[in-house]
């Protein structure tokens, strides 16, 4: 083992352990996914350093590229802000879990420390015909049956994924006409035929979280996107309007040159 | 430094993954813990291959990767199905058989 590899290991290993420990403590599932991606890329670098360049590339392509992206897709599907609840349903589960984890670490580290390993041979001889070729000779020579079985497994898994996530359509597919008629039928209950109004445009503020004003001057709550309303991030129009009123008054007080501006505050900025 | 250090790192990562499976409730995070354990095993396999000068260890790691990819597809499909039925991805909410 060369000095460069030693430096690489001691730089990467603590970072990877920290990222893996982050999996235990972070609240949001997306952050956990980022931690796992970091660990996996670190492992890919270590594989390349360990004379396994093919596995290093496959690690990046398959794990970081495909598997973790699949995880992120499912996270989006399930809801990104699905934070873990930290209340314990089984009493003392956390401490028992930590204890078991520490015990497992102690056992594994103890076994590795106790075992005597032969002097390292290195892969120079095995990798003489380049690593991918050497791998392919073993894979398609000795293990060709296992390779075929793994192929069957992959096809089965793809089919299983299709079958499990398939949803049968229960009713007939609605036509455009039916959709339009349903919309018209809902009109008496306060629905709109037209698109919803866009969120408000004011002199100081042109943000998604402020409601637009209707023709009667009252704020239209449904102009704010539904997600912001559910999260409670909506701002009230009145506070903005009063802020603008005071601004207009202050400007009028400072310079009386442009009194006409006060009744058109919307066009005041830029 | 010896190659054994790689094995120590693999052990620590494996234990952290196992603890994640024990502690977390979100099924997706639990699944990530399993992936971490599989990756730790792969690191040990690659290290053993280098230690013994035999490339079969890398072939085994390759097989682990392929099987893990298949496992992820099925596992995530199951999580999505459960989420559709129960509106939750928490492993504690799946207690249909209780009482």
Query: Would you state the pLDDT for residue A261?
Result: 43
Is residue A42 assigned to a domain? yes
Range of the domain at B76: 4-86
Judged by CB atoms closer than 8 Å, whether chains meet at B18 and A58 is answered as no
Is residue B91 assigned to a domain? no
Q: A204 and A240 in contact (C-beta within 8 Å)?
A: yes
Total structural domains within chain B:
1
Q: Is the confidence at residue A65, as pLDDT, over 80?
A: yes
Is residue B64 assigned to a domain? yes
Is residue B96 assigned to a domain? no
Judged by CB atoms closer than 8 Å, whether chains meet at A112 and B4 is answered as yes
Total structural domains within chain A:
2
Range of the domain at A262: 196-267
Judged by CB atoms closer than 8 Å, whether chains meet at B17 and A20 is answered as yes
Cα four-point dihedral sign A183, A186, A187, A190? negative
Q: Is A125 on the interface with B (CB under 8 A)?
A: yes
- Kindly report, residue by residue over A149-201, the tens digit of the pLDDT: 999 999 999 999 999 888 888 888 889 998 888 888 888 887 778 888 787 76
Query: Would you state the pLDDT for residue A263?
Result: 46
How far apart (Å, rounded) are the C-alpha atoms in residues B63 and A133? 16
Query: Three-state SS for A213?
Result: strand
Is residue B9 assigned to a domain? yes
Q: A19 and A39 in contact (C-beta within 8 Å)?
A: yes
Query: Would you state the pLDDT for residue A58?
Result: 93
Instruction: State mean pLDDT over A144-149.
Output: 94
Judged by CB atoms closer than 8 Å, whether chains meet at A23 and B16 is answered as yes
Which of B11, B67, B81 comes nearest A164 by C-beta? Answer: B81
Across A122-136, A182-196, B72-86, least confident range:
A182-196
Q: Is the confidence at residue A115, as pLDDT, over 80?
A: yes
Instruction: State mean pLDDT over A218-235.
Output: 77
Query: Would you state the pLDDT for residue B72?
Result: 93
Query: Would you state the pLDDT for residue A155?
Result: 95
Q: A42 and A12 in contact (C-beta within 8 Å)?
A: yes
Query: Would you state the pLDDT for residue A13?
Result: 94
Is residue A30 assigned to a domain? yes
Report the CATH number at residue B78. 1.10.287.3510
Is residue A3 assigned to a domain? yes
Query: Would you state the pLDDT for residue A267?
Result: 42
Closest approach of chain A CAs to the CA of B96, in angstroms? 16
Res. A76 pLDDT band, cuts 50 70 90 = confident
Q: Is A87 on the interface with B (CB under 8 A)?
A: no
Cα four-point dihedral sign A161, A165, A169, A175? negative
């Amino acid at each position: 083992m060369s000095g460069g590899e030693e430096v690489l290991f001691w730089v990467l290993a603590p970072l990877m352990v920290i990222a893996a420990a982050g999996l235990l403590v972070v609240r949001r599932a997306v952050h956990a996914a980022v931690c796992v991606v970091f660990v996996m890329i670190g492992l890919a670098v270590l594989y390349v350093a360990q004379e396994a360049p093919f596995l290093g590339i496959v690690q990046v392509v398959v794990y970081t590229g495909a598997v973790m992206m699949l995880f992120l897709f499912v996270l989006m599907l399930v809801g990104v802000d699905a934070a873990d609840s930290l209340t314990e349903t089984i009493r003392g589960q956390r401490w028992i879990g930590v204890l078991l984890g520490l015990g497992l670490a102690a056992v594994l580290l103890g076994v590795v420390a106790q075992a005597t390993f032969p002097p390292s041979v290195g892969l120079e001889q095995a990798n003489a015909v380049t690593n991918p070729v050497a791998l392919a000779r073993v894979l398609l020579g000795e293990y060709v049956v296992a390779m075929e079985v793994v192929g069957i497994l992959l096809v089965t898994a793809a089919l299983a994924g299709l079958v499990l996530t398939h949803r049968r359509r229960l009713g007939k597919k609605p036509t455009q006409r039916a959709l339009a008629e349903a919309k018209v039928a809902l009109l008496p209950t306060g629905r709109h035929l037209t698109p919803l109004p866009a969120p408000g445009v004011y002199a100081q503020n042109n943000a998604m979280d402020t409601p637009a004003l209707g023709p009667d001057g009252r704020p239209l709550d449904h102009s704010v996107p539904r997600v912001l309303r559910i999260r409670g991030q909506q701002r009230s129009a009145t506070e903005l309007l009063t802020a603008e009123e005071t601004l207009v008054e202050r400007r009028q007080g400072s310079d009386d040159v442009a009194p006409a501006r006060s009744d058109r505050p919307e066009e005041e900025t830029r | 430094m010896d190659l054994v250090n790689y094995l120590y790192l693999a052990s620590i990562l494996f234990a952290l993954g196992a603890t994640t499976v024990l502690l977390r409730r979100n099924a997706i995070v639990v699944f990530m813990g399993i992936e971490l354990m599989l990756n730790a095993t792969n690191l040990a396999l690659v290290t053993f291959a280098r230690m013994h000068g035999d490339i079969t260890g890398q072939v085994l790691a390759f097989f682990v990767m392929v099987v893990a990819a298949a496992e992820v597809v099925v596992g995530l499909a199951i999580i999505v199905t459960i989420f559709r039925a129960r509106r939750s991805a928490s492993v504690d909410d799946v207690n249909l058989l209780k009482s």
